[in-house]
């Protein structure tokens, strides 16, 4: 590789996929003294992704660009924060130019921002040869966002605490996933502010989901999907319930809101049925962001 030593010149480049996530289940166990909620979640990476390109520079500044012109490109962007923290925590001299091609819907409950931040940490670790372990990267990541450690880990995991305590689970058998985001954005903070822990009447049966994962029983996994935040977000946006019902009518095994919403995902056994459902729902609800994808299987593809 030819290196131009002129100040600010690009030394090398890395290109990574920042994978979205869905919540197979999301439960709230209580509220912590610091104001955060104690969570119990089964999280799953999916193959819908942003593309994050990082260029290592001699200049010690961080510059960020994205195809979404209205997104912040400074310290208000979680990926920018991740880069700042990487250089601070590793005492590394240098800088980075980060370009993010967004595909994952924004403010959608799919962890797009966290995935970008995770990709930045992983990419800078490789570019600067700092040799941080995955666990060390996750320790840095949680400081910028609770979902960042999972987005570094990827795959299938049980998440506890505020989402940062992760237990790796066997991969869920590959499943076709339909994602449909209503034409609204949802603030995660506002949803959690509104939830009243003592008023939660129904909780997911996490034990059954874990049994299904460990025995590769897709029916047991998906029959028990549940998200306690749905009651809050659907009260604001009833169309979420309509989307769930429509996915079931189109042949989904089950359907659920991911995270704090508003994105709804449907689980399908058949790719063709999933595609037909996506076309119907996009037209029926006049939606801009509808995607057909699959669950991510880390053992079947080269990790980047």
Determine contact, residues 222/253, Cβ cutoff 8 Å: yes
Complete DSSP assignment for 5-17: -STT-EEEEEEEE
- Single out the catalytic residue among 147, 181, 239, 244: 147
Complete DSSP assignment for 52-110: EEEEEESS--EEEEES-TTS--STTSHHHHHHHHHHHHHT---EEEEEEE--SPSSSSS
CA–centroid distance for 44 within its chain: 8
Strand pairing report for 10-31 and 226-227: parallel
- Single out the catalytic residue among 21, 55, 81, 239: 21
Active site residue 181: no
Determine contact, residues 64/77, Cβ cutoff 8 Å: yes
Active site residue 21: yes
Q: What are phi and psi of 199, to 5 degrees?
A: -95, 0
Between CA 250 and CA 55 the distance in angstroms is 44
Which residues have a catalytic role annotated? 21, 147
């Amino acid at each position: 590789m030819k290196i131009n030593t002129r100040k600010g010149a690009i030394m090398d480049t890395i290109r990574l996929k920042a994978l979205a996530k869905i919540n197979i289940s999301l439960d709230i166990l209580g509220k912590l003294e610091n104001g955060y909620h104690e969570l119990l979640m089964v999280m799953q990476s999916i193959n819908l992704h942003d593309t994050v390109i990082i260029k290592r520079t001699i200049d010690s500044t961080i510059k960020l660009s994205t195809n979404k012109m209205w997104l912040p490109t400074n310290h208000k962007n979680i990926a920018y924060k991740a880069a700042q923290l990487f250089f601070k925590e590793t005492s590394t001299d240098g800088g980075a130019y980060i370009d993010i091609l967004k595909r994952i819907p924004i403010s959608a409950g799919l962890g797009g921002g966290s995935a970008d931040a995770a990709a930045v940490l992983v990419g800078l670790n490789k570019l600067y040869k700092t040799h941080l372990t995955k666990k060390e990267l996750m320790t840095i990541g949680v400081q910028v966002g609770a979902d960042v450690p999972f987005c570094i880990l990827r795959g299938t995991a049980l998440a506890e605490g505020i989402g940062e305590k992760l237990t790796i689970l066997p991969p869920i058998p590959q499943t076709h996933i339909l994602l449909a985001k209503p034409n609204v954005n949802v603030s995660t903070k506002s949803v959690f502010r509104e939830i009243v822990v003592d008023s939660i009447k129904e909780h997911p049966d996490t034990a059954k989901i874990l049994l299904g994962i460990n025995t590769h029983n897709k029916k047991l996994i998906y029959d028990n999907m549940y998200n306690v935040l749905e009651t809050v977000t659907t009260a604001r946006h009833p169309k979420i319930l309509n989307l769930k019902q429509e996915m079931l009518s189109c042949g989904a095994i089950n359907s659920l809101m991911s995270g704090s919403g508003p994105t709804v995902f449907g689980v399908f056994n058949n790719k063709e049925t999933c595609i037909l459902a996506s076309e119907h729902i996009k037209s029926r609800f006049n939606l801009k962001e509808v995607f057909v994808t699959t669950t991510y299987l880390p053992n079947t593809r080269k990790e980047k």
